[in-house]
Structure 1
Amino acid sequence: MDGKTFMMEDDSEYEGSAGAIKFNNNRLSYIGQDVRKIPPVLSKLYGSRVQSLDLSYNCLTSLQELSNFPHLNELVLDNNQLTDSITFPRNENLRTLSLNKNNITDLDVLMRKLENNLPNLRYLSLLGNKACPNQLSSPDKDDEDYQRYRYYVLYCLPNLQFLDSRAVTTEERTEACQRGKFMKVVRPSSENESNRREEIEKENRNKYTPLPAARRHADDHRGMFGKCRFRYAGKHSEGNRFILNDDL
């Protein structure tokens, strides 16, 4: 079972190194195997016994197998490729969730999923995602941006005791309760921004007309008067034929 692919007892195929699976004291780790989804073999062998699952440093884009780990209270998914489309099966036992360095951009969407499906979270970490506005994800963000993010997350998940790298303070919890709902940040996607620019350009093109903007009535004889000056510097003017040298 040291190769990259081997067969399980139920004839299902498993890709990866057998030595990558480490299970001890109800803790299962499967790290650095570049898989895009959780191998079914993990849930088949250990799912009912696992309380802590570490799947860091893979290429996960789906969490479909998580429903087969009903007793999870800790889930570590750092350094994967999870996006806003991820779904979490309902789990009232999960207390710790780490999603550092993934591709999560929409904080509001993530909060709704966590509120609905993981109601008893106590520890959450989102560092390294665009949804978490700090220096790790966006160099143009500052401490004030990050603090507003904390207030909003704590407003959505009031039971959190630890967010990212800091414990939640009493002052933060009070501020989040009072003003957290106003800290929501709407981040338009680059595709939406591009489409909006195209719409604006199209509207501007349609608005252009060489005619006056105001309508003119039949009895409105307004015109524009001015002086026009023409100067000819050549020698082939028709009028030059009638001018004699004595007239110059």
Structure 2
Amino acid sequence: MECEKLKINDNHDEGVITVDVSNSILVDSVTAMAQTLLPADYIQSSEDLNDDGDSTKLTLAYERLYELPRTIIETFCDHIRYLDISHNKITNLDGLVHFKHLTTLIADDNPITEHCLLPPMPNLQLLWLNRCKISSLYPWVSKLKESCQNLQYLSVMGNPAAPSYFNGGTFYEMLQYRLFVISQFPSLLHLDDRKVTEDQREEAHRLYKRPLLERIMKPGSGSLTQLMTSSVTWSSVHNKLSSFWNKEKGQRRNLLI
């Protein structure tokens, strides 16, 4: 497999980033990288990602980046399908909006929080955000769903928002987290370190996708219109809700996660 080698040099003109594609030279003064020859897999063509063999893999891991350099975006965004920006200091992913053909994004070990939203990426199928700083799933997961509607592989292990035995999460918290994320992505095949099973998908739909009133009403109790037009008291609504939640809790299946 043929690979392009890029060399990084210091530049005293602060804020200037230039790329000499003909000589395979990258000058980046913003990140103040050392004068070292990057590994051969820094940029490499990847025939495994596309049958016609013209896809490209770009690796920017361990480069002390705070953001995606503008010149990198301008030079490679049109043909990159696999991008690795792991082990950096990136907190903003807005620059990814230019990578129209990106199908795989590896962004592990960055200080990315739930306030960092991905731009629309309809072609993205695999997203790794392990060991970042995501502390809340809502509304982050909903926003992620809007940006990456065709996501099939998602891993957010090691984040505070992803309960596990390693960060003090209980089995029930782990299960609820997993089912909630699955409910948001109908095309998801793999979450974290496990495949998504049909039982999990059905349970996720039962818990999080069915309308609340539909779940409260018993079969044969009348239509929604009848319920809305009938005379009800807060006491009766409260009793129905309490009965519903207790019943739901008692009927939850012990799904393996």
TM-score under structure 2 length normalisation: 0.65
The question of 1:109 aligning with 2:136 is answered no
Tell me how far 1:37 sits from its aligned partner.
0.9
- Output the amino acid matched with 1:107: L
Tell me how far 1:144 sits from its aligned partner.
2.2
The question of 1:148 aligning with 2:176 is answered yes
1:92 is matched with which residue?
Answer: 122
Identity %: 28
The question of 1:8 aligning with 2:6 is answered no
User: C-alpha separation between the residues in 2 aligned to 1:20 and 1:118?
Assistant: 31
Tell me how far 1:180 sits from its aligned partner.
3.2
TM-score under structure 1 length normalisation: 0.67
Q: How does 1:45-84 map to 2 (within 5 A)?
A: 45-84=75-114
SS where residue 138 of structure 2 aligns?
helix
Tell whether the 8 Å contact from 1:7 to 1:13 is kept in structure 2 after alignment: yes
1:24 is matched with which residue?
Answer: 44
User: C-alpha separation between the residues in 2 aligned to 1:110 and 1:59?
Assistant: 20
Tell whether the 8 Å contact from 1:8 to 1:14 is kept in structure 2 after alignment: no
- The count of residues paired between Structure 1 and Structure 2 equals 180
SS where residue 24 of structure 1 aligns?
strand
The question of 1:163 aligning with 2:173 is answered no
Alpha-carbon distance change, 9 to 56 in structure 1, aligned in 2, over 3 angstroms: closer
- Output the amino acid matched with 1:164: D
User: C-alpha separation between the residues in 2 aligned to 1:51 and 1:122?
Assistant: 15
Structure 1 runs of 4+ with >2 Å offset: 1-7, 9-21
Post-superposition Cα deviations, 1:51-76, rounded to whole Å, max 9, x if no partner, equal 00000000111112111211000001
Alpha-carbon distance change, 88 to 20 in structure 1, aligned in 2, over 3 angstroms: farther
Structure number with larger C-alpha Rg: 1
SS where residue 51 of structure 1 aligns?
strand
Task: List gaps (5 residues or longer) in structure 2.
Answer: 1-6, 21-26, 46-55, 211-257
Q: How does 1:183-194 map to 2 (within 5 A)?
A: none
